[in-house]
C-alpha cells in the first residue's frame, strides 16, 4: 500500500504532486498544507495535525469527516502523519513539501528517515528524492544521472557500484564525501554493510531491496 503525505513546507509543483499521487492508495495532508492545495486537484483522504494553521475555507472544502485533530508537541505533524499512514497499512510513504521552509522542520524530516529506518519512506524535494539505506538497494536510473550518499550519524561501511566513483566497503563519516557522484550505467547498487546513509537520487527512479 502506497501513501503520499503532503507537508506544510515549500509547496511542490502541481505536476510533481500529481505524478506522485498517480496510483497512490492514501493521500494525507498535514494542517496548513491543505490551504494551498489546488481546488481542482485530488482531495486528500485526511487532513491531520494540531490544525492551528488550517483555514476555514480549507475546512469547508475538505469536510469534517476527513479532518483528524492530533494534538501534542512531542512530535511534528509529519511524524504524526507517518504514524497515521503506517497504522492504516502503508508499506511505502512518499513525503512531499517537507523540505524548505523552517530549517528545524527540514532537519526533523531527515531524522524521521533514521527513526523509521525499517519503513520505506522517501522525502521528495523539488529536484531529487532522499531515502535512507540500511542494507542493500538496487537503483535504476538514467546513465549520467547525479546521485549522492551522505552519512548521517555514526560512521557507515558502504559499497557503491555503477557510478563514476565507486566505493568498496568504504567507511564514510559525516561530511561531504559522497556528494555529486554520477551513474555510468542504468543499475546502481548501494549497500550499507554497517550503519546507514542517506541516498539522494533523481525522482521516479525505481528502487528495489536486494540481498547484499
Question: 24: domain CATH number?
Answer: 3.40.50.10240
Per the structure, the complete domain to which residue 11 belongs is given by: 2-126
Distance CA 206, CA 187 (A): 10
Domain count for the chain, please give it: 2
Looking at 126, 150, 165, which one is the last position of a domain? 126
All three cell numbers of 90, joined, read 502503508
Helix (H) or strand (E) holding 78, with range, is helix 77-87
Residues 38 and 141 in one domain: no
- Please list the pLDDT of the chain residue by residue as tens digits (212 residues): 999 999 988 889 999 999 999 989 999 999 888 888 877 778 899 999 888 888 888 888 888 899 998 887 788 889 999 999 999 999 999 999 998 777 888 888 999 999 998 889 999 998 899 999 999 999 999 999 999 999 988 899 999 999 999 999 999 999 888 999 999 999 999 999 999 999 999 987 777 766 65
Residues 35 and 121 in one domain: yes
Residue 30 phi/psi, 5-degree rounding, is -95, 120
Give the pTM. Answer: 0.90
Residues 77 and 33 in one domain: yes
**What are 153-210's pLDDT values in tens digits?**
889 999 999 999 999 999 999 988 899 999 999 999 999 999 999 999 998 777 776 6
Residues 185 and 113 in one domain: no
**Angle at 88 (CA atoms; ends 86, 93), nearest 5 degrees:** 45
Residues 9 and 94 in one domain: yes
Distance CA 34, CA 189 (A): 37
Residues 69 and 158 in one domain: no
Residues 140 and 102 in one domain: no
Looking at 126, 144, 177, which one is the last position of a domain? 126
Q: Cell 511524524 identifies what position?
A: 79
Residues 116 and 170 in one domain: no
Residues 71 and 175 in one domain: no
Residues 70 and 152 in one domain: no
Residues 160 and 98 in one domain: no
**Angle at 20 (CA atoms; ends 126, 68), nearest 5 degrees:** 100
Looking at 109, 126, 143, which one is the last position of a domain? 126
Residues 122 and 158 in one domain: no
Amino acid at each position: 500500500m502506497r501513501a503520499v503525505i503532503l507537508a506544510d513546507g515549500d509547496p511542490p509543483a502541481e505536476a510533481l504532486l500529481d505524478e506522485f499521487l498517480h496510483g497512490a492508495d492514501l493521500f494525507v495532508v498535514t494542517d496548513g498544507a491543505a490551504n494551498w492545495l489546488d481546488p481542482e486537484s485530488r482531495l486528500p483522504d485526511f487532513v491531520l495535525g494540531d490544525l492551528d494553521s488550517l483555514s476555514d475555507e480549507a475546512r469547508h472544502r475538505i469536510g469534517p469527516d476527513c479532518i483528524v485533530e492530533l494534538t501534542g508537541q512531542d512530535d511534528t505533524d509529519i511524524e504524526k502523519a507517518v504514524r497515521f499512514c503506517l497504522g492504516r497499512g502503508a508499506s511505502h510513504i512518499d513525503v512531499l513539501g517537507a523540505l524548505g521552509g523552517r530549517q528545524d522542520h527540514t532537519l526533523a524530516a531527515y531524522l524521521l528517515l533514521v527513526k523509521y529506518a525499517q519503513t520505506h519512506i522517501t522525502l521528495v524535494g523539488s529536484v531529487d528524492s532522499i531515502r535512507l539505506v540500511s542494507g542493500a538497494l538496487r537503483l535504476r536510473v538514467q546513465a549520467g544521472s547525479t546521485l549522492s550518499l551522505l552519512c548521517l550519524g555514526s560512521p557507515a561501511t558502504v559499497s557503491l557500484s555503477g557510478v563514476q566513483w565507486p566505493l568498496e566497503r568504504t567507511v564514510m563519516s559525516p561530511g561531504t564525501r559522497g556528494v555529486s557522484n554520477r551513474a555510468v550505467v542504468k543499475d546502481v547498487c548501494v549497500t550499507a554493510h554497517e550503519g546507514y546513509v542517506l541516498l539522494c537520487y533523481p525522482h521516479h527512479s525505481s528502487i528495489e531491496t536486494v540481498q547484499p
